[in-house]
Amino acid sequence: MKKSVSLLLVLLLSLSVFASVFSSGAIFASEDVTDKLRSQVCYLESLDEEGTVFFNKGADKKVPIAGFIKLIAAVVAIEKWGDLDEKVKVTDKNRSLVKYDYGVRTAGYKEGERVSKKDLVDCMVIYSANDAASIIAYEISGSLEGFIGEMQALMTKLGCSSTVIKNIHGFDEEGQYTTAKDMAAFLKYALSYPVFSDAFSAKSFVIKAYDDREEKTVTSNNKMMNASISDYYHKSVTGGKYTMTDEAGECVAAVSNMDGYSYLTVVMGGKLMNIDSDDSKENTGFNDAQTMLNWVYDNIRYRVVVSPEQSVAFVDVKAGKDTDKLRLIPEKETSALVPSKVTTAAVSFEIVDGSVPSEVTAPVKAGTIMGQAKVYYAGEEITTINLIASQDIERSAAGFIMGIISSIVGSKLFLVVSILLFLACAGYLAYMLCKFFGVIDDKTIKALTAKAKKAASGSKNAKRPQAKSQSAKSQSAKSQSVKRPSQKKPQQKRSQQAKRPPQTKGKQ
């Protein structure tokens, strides 16, 4: 392949992506752009801004996982083993969890050999050695099924629900799959381990000599890190892995860092096809990764998209001195990854529902958080910001008084009093109209008034005798209870006198 032709094609494709993104008005690549990428799945996101994705073609599509499965096995080993300096003795038993068919890549570890755990992890990540994967799986779980369960548990913990694991070598197997989004989420987690990051970034690995096996150096199969392969090399790529199977196609995962910007790229389902005028077939997995990286490094920059000088919204002010409007502005300056020509004038704002009051009452202090707004560029949400009061607003004396009056008028008490006054006025008006039309006169009013008074007085008097009679009854009962003993005594006395015999003078 001619280098100049390849570079020209990449440049033209990059320019077409650039034009399409701006014509479609979106940061993320439009469908027209992603359709020009030849691989089945193409995904690129920023490692500097969480959730900022620039290319997303089929990232949710379930596809065969291929050799990426060994990266998952490496993280399980790192977490389960802890101390990677310890050595493991190689046996026929711990080597037996994979089949060593023709074409299966191995390091050639032999029975009785003692290998450090770190070398096993590095050899599996860098060289995809299947014997290293088998030894790791057996030493940690004792069985293939047990280790597969550990890998599946890790992916579940990371929220990678679209990944199902059936083996440890990555060869095609029905029901085993993943997605580019799951792999990206896993890789971001895996890269937090320095041991994994170092192995993922290594260009080669040394398999030490043992018995009749001589020392040998094996190289990473990620051709994007190999400057001698100009068709696929990209100077920004600092780590990655290439793998393939018949069903998975050409698959590439790469981490890049250049000019202060870092990206993660995942390509799956690539093809070997002739994309130029020569007779050789090109790997679209590497080509598509190159295309995406070229575009973001040529066109994406951190730019100030939000400035405190911008007016976002206005709020009504009650009882304010010299103003009845409050201007809301961004709390602070905000930068984001956007096309390099974007300025603050290219963004728009949308108030977060329910976050900003319809009005405020003075006094208001500058810098007070009043709500939130979403920031959009070309229809895509960039970030969410706080909105603050742009100025101090003092309370107006007249406005304050009017505010009090307004609050009183709007109260329930005022409503009740108003209704009572209305009824009183309506009654008085009815009285005056009746009097005016002769329906009622002063004499009739006096008679009715006197009758009402008499009725009221009669009602009171009716209650008083009843009370008095009850009192009288009570008093009568008391007097009777007092007089009865005194009435009995004279009768007894008279009876005694009657029984007494008469006295005669003779006896005296």
Residue 382 has pLDDT above 90, yes or no: no
From 268, 300, 332, give the residue that closes a domain: 300
Q: Which residues pair with 377 in a beta bridge?
A: 347, 380
How much is the pLDDT for 5?
36
Q: Label residue 18 by pLDDT band (50, 70, 90).
A: very low
Longest CA pairwise span in the chain (Å): 186
Name the least confident of 93-107, 125-139, 148-162, 459-473. 459-473
The residue among 165, 235, 241 whose CA lies nearest residue 201 is 241
Q: How many CB atoms are closer than 10 A to CB 475?
A: 10
Average pLDDT over residues 297-316: 93
Residue 507 has pLDDT above 50, yes or no: no
Overall domain count for the chain: 3
Is position 173 within any domain?
yes
Residue 176 has pLDDT above 90, yes or no: yes
* Residue-wise pLDDT tens digits, 319-336: 888 899 999 999 999 998
Question: By three-state DSSP, how is residue 295 classified?
Answer: helix
Is position 348 within any domain?
yes
Q: Are residues 339 and 211 in the same domain?
A: no
Per-residue tokens: 301: 């920059």
Q: Are residues 279 and 317 in the same domain?
A: no
Q: Are residues 227 and 313 in the same domain?
A: no
How much is the pLDDT for 102?
66
Is position 396 within any domain?
no
Average pLDDT over residues 14-36: 47
How much is the pLDDT for 181?
97
Q: Are residues 259 and 179 in the same domain?
A: yes
Average pLDDT over residues 352-357: 96
Residue 499 has pLDDT above 80, yes or no: no
Check if the beta carbon of residue 74 is closer than 8 Å to that of residue 124.
yes
DSSP 8-state assignment for residue 30: P
Is position 279 within any domain?
yes
With a pLDDT cut of 90, the percent of the chain lying above it is: 60
Is position 430 within any domain?
yes
Distance between CA atoms of residues 322 and 329, nearest Å: 20
Distance between CA atoms of residues 150 and 167, nearest Å: 12
From 274, 300, 326, give the residue that closes a domain: 300
Q: Are residues 236 and 379 in the same domain?
A: no
Q: Is the dihedral of CA 116, 237, 303, 43 positive or negative?
A: negative
Rg (CA), the chain: 49
* Residue-wise pLDDT tens digits, 83-98: 999 999 999 999 999 8
Q: Are residues 212 and 350 in the same domain?
A: no
DSSP states of 140-209 as a string? HHSSHHHHHHHHHHHHHHTT-TT-B---SS----TT-BB-HHHHHHHHHHHTTSHHHHHHHH-SEEEE--
Query: What element of type H or E holds 272?
Result: strand 272-273
Name the least confident of 164-168, 353-357, 370-374, 457-461. 457-461
Is position 77 within any domain?
yes
Residue 363 makes CB contacts below 8 A (sequence gap 6+) with 392, 393, 394, 395
Q: Are residues 83 and 127 in the same domain?
A: yes
Distance between CA atoms of residues 362 and 255, nearest Å: 53
DSSP states of 326-385 as a string? EEEEESS-EEEEEETT--GGGEEEEEPTTSS-SEEES-B-TT-EEEEEEEEETTEEEEEE
Residue 23 burial class via C-beta count within 10 angstroms: exposed 0-12, middle 13-18, buried 19 and up: exposed
The residue among 73, 247, 305, 57 whose CA lies nearest residue 168 is 73
Distance between CA atoms of residues 98 and 274, nearest Å: 35
Q: Is the dihedral of CA 111, 116, 121, 125 positive or negative?
A: negative
| Predicted structure pTM score | 0.70
Check if the beta carbon of residue 342 is closer than 8 Å to that of residue 305.
yes
From 440, 456, 472, give the residue that closes a domain: 456
Name the least confident of 33-42, 52-61, 428-437. 428-437
Check if the beta carbon of residue 169 is closer than 8 Å to that of residue 58.
no
Q: Are residues 343 and 240 in the same domain?
A: no
Check if the beta carbon of residue 237 is closer than 8 Å to that of residue 255.
yes
Is position 468 within any domain?
no
Is position 350 within any domain?
yes
Q: Are residues 167 and 182 in the same domain?
A: yes
Residue 260 burial class via C-beta count within 10 angstroms: exposed 0-12, middle 13-18, buried 19 and up: exposed
Distance between CA atoms of residues 160 and 214, nearest Å: 41
Distance between CA atoms of residues 3 and 407, nearest Å: 79
Q: Are residues 252 and 311 in the same domain?
A: no
Q: Are residues 314 and 234 in the same domain?
A: no
Kindly give the pairing relationship between strand 282-283 and strand 325-330. unpaired
Range of the domain at 427: 411-456
Residue 21 has pLDDT above 50, yes or no: no
Q: Are residues 107 and 192 in the same domain?
A: yes
CATH number at residue 383: 2.60.410.10
CATH number at residue 275: 3.40.710.10
